[in-house]
Amino acid sequence: MTDVITTAIPYVNAEPHLGHALELVQADVLARHRRLRGTDVRLLTGTDDNALKNVTAAKAAGVPVREFVGHGAARFAALREPLGLAVDDFIRTSTDRRHLDGVRRLWQASARRGDFSLRDYTGRYCVGCEQFYADGERRREHETPPEIVTEQNWFFRLSRYAGEIRDLLETGRLRIEPAARLREVLGFVRSGLSDISVSRPAARSDGWGIPVPGDPDQVIYVWWDALASYLTADPSRWAQAAERVHVIGKGILRFHAVYWPALLLSAGERLPDTIFVHDYLTLDGAKISKSAGNTVRPTDLVDRYGADAVRWWLLREVAPLGDTDFTETRLIDRADDELANGLGNLVHRVLSLARRTGRIAPSSPLRTVHALASRIDTALAAFDFRTATGAVAEVISDANRYVEQTRPWTLRGADLAEVLGTVVGTCRELATELSPFLPDGAARLRAQLDRGEPARLYPRLREQARH
């Protein structure tokens, strides 16, 4: 069987920012790590094309919606190479026939259960969230006041599944990490679930979206449509997966931990097993977001500093709980201290000495390496990327300390060969365990060790920035 790991699928009304890169890299690490341990994994991402905000942005740009959305989706698909992502599938909700047919099947399955009713509705609608808010309910992320919207919509009987959703969360059958996010969503569920609107008048979106089966005057609400992509990409793989894992941002927890399981229960489909929720990246304390205009382009950072440095910062610095402020200085410092000066300098020193002396004896790696794999396994089982990469960094520090203590440049003969063999063996283990986090950097390390070539493994970014 195969594990299925998914990212959320972003709107394409603006270009990708560093927050999108965080989620993609986290999901990529989870997939690569499980593959390293022998598990078959399917990593899915894509784009949410059918949002009303995409229609609004296309009008503002004076571009046909399909052309605008296609261009935007291409920018997200193009993140695969610069970020070094081992993505297996990329789904677009406006053009992928698998998705269009699958959404209709899900809708019809819920309709057969009697879970839809047509109602007139007036509510506070936030275009940024693509969501109606109850009176008095506070929005966390968009400053623009919500619109008062009156329309006729299809409603989904969410209240019918309130007990099952609560039981899933309380028993842990639907695992939410970190625990603070479980408490948050449980509080929402325990306060009572009301039925939700799941369609929009087609006229409001100029017909953009997937028509409601049997009612072409309505299009399916973007969130129902988008959530379904996790299943529509490969229904049989979803049904047969050993584990189904969603990697999402905290702002969309309710959709994934409440509405999505209810949709699946209604349609008679398998539920997700785990939802990992990351917090946000900030700039000067403000959330990085398209609407705020304070974006950091991940491709620009990769162009300046390389994928290894960008991935390492995202995995090494971002907190498991609580927002993390980004600065280029912190990225440079972390990459230089642990990659260039830590691992890179270690390999350069040892291979340079080995080349001069020609002596490397097969030796056991440092004792701290023996626990490295299990430490990483434990950390990633809890979705703690900072602790996982910290375990790697500790072994790098231990290896450098070992070199300083043994002073191999003062040794001769078998003693020298044994010390060099110990360090090289340690670095080989590091190359293996580093591969989910820095696939390109780990591959270069392995090749360098095989060739015995004392080239610079990682650039010193401070020096690079000065020139």
3-state secondary structure of 40: strand
Beta bridge partners of 246: 6, 275
- Indicate yes or no: pTM above 0.75: yes
The fold of 2-278 is Rossmann fold (3.40.50)
Q: CA–CA separation, 389 vs 395, rounded Å? A: 10
CB atoms within 10 A of CB 186: 16
What confidence score (pLDDT) does residue 28 get?
98
CA angle 443, 448, 451 (to 5 degrees): 125
Considering only the C-alpha atoms of the chain, give the largest distance between any 2 of them, rounded to a whole number of Å: 87
Cβ pair 67, 114 in contact under 8 A: no
Please give the Cα distance from 442 to 309 (Å, whole number). 13
CATH 3.40.50.620 domain extents, the chain: 2-278
**Yes or no: is domain 328-466 CATH 1.10.730.10?**
yes
Gap between the Cα atoms of 398 and 99, Å rounded: 50
Using DSSP's 3-state secondary structure scheme, residue 163 falls into helix
CA distance 175 to 291: 31
SS3 379: helix
Q: Where in the chain is the domain with CATH 1.10.730.10?
A: 328-466
Please report the pLDDT score of residue 250 as a whole number.
96
Per-residue model confidence (pLDDT) at position 327: 93
**Nearest-5° Cα angle at 272, 267 to 276:** 145
Regions in the chain scoring below 70 on pLDDT: 123-146, 289-293, 465-467
**Identity of residue 32:** R
Q: Quote the pLDDT of residue 12.
A: 93
